[in-house]
Amino acid sequence: MAQMLASVSALLISVALLILGHGLQSTLLPLAASNADFSDLQIGAISSAYFIGLVLGCLGAPLVIMRAGHIRAYAAVVSLMSAAAILHPIAVDPVAWFAIRIISGFCLAGFYMIVESWLNESATNENRGTIMSTYVVILFAAMMVGQVSISGMDITSFIPFAIASVTVSLAVIPVALTSANQPAPITLVRFRPIKLYRNSPAALVGALLIGVANGAIWSLSPLYGSQIGFSTNESAVYAAAVIAGGMLSQWPVGRLSDRMDRRLVLLMLGVATSVVATGVAVLAPQDFQTATALAMLIGICSQPGYAIAVSHAFDYADSEDFVETSSGLLLAFGLGSVAGPISASILMNQTGPSGLYFLVAVVNVVMVAFILTRLFARSAIDPEEKFDFEYAATAQVGTVMSPEPLDVDAPNVIPPEEFPAYDDEIYNAETDTITEEVVAYEDLEEAAAEEEPGKTDDAATSDKG
Name the percent of the chain lying above pLDDT 70.
85
pLDDT tens for 88-132 read 999 999 999 999 999 999 999 999 888 887 887 777 767 777 787
What is the helix (H) or strand (E) element at residue 57, kind and residue range?
helix 40-68
Please state, as a whole number, how many other Cβ atoms lie within 10 Å of the Cβ of residue 2: 6
Q: Is pLDDT of 418 > 70?
A: yes
Per-domain boundaries in the chain: 8-418, 426-464
CA distance 229 to 7: 46
pLDDT tens for 223-251 read 999 999 999 999 999 999 999 999 899 88
DSSP state of 427: E
Cis peptide before 222 (omega within 30 of 0): no
How much is the average pLDDT of 169-196?
A: 81
pLDDT of residue 417: 77
pLDDT of residue 360: 97
pLDDT of residue 409: 80
pLDDT tens for 327-359 read 888 899 999 999 999 999 999 999 999 999 999
Q: pTM for the full model?
A: 0.85
pLDDT of residue 368: 97
8-418 to CATH, choices 2.30.29.30, 3.40.50.970, 1.20.1250.20, 3.20.20.70: 1.20.1250.20
CA distance 409 to 199: 22
CA distance 134 to 333: 23
pLDDT tens for 8-63 read 888 899 999 999 999 999 999 999 999 999 999 999 999 999 999 999 998 888 88
pLDDT tens for 360-381 read 999 999 999 999 999 998 888 8
* Bridge-based pairing state of the strands 413-414 and 186-187: antiparallel
Mean of all residue pLDDT scores within the chain: 85
Which residues are registered as beta bridge partners of 428?
433
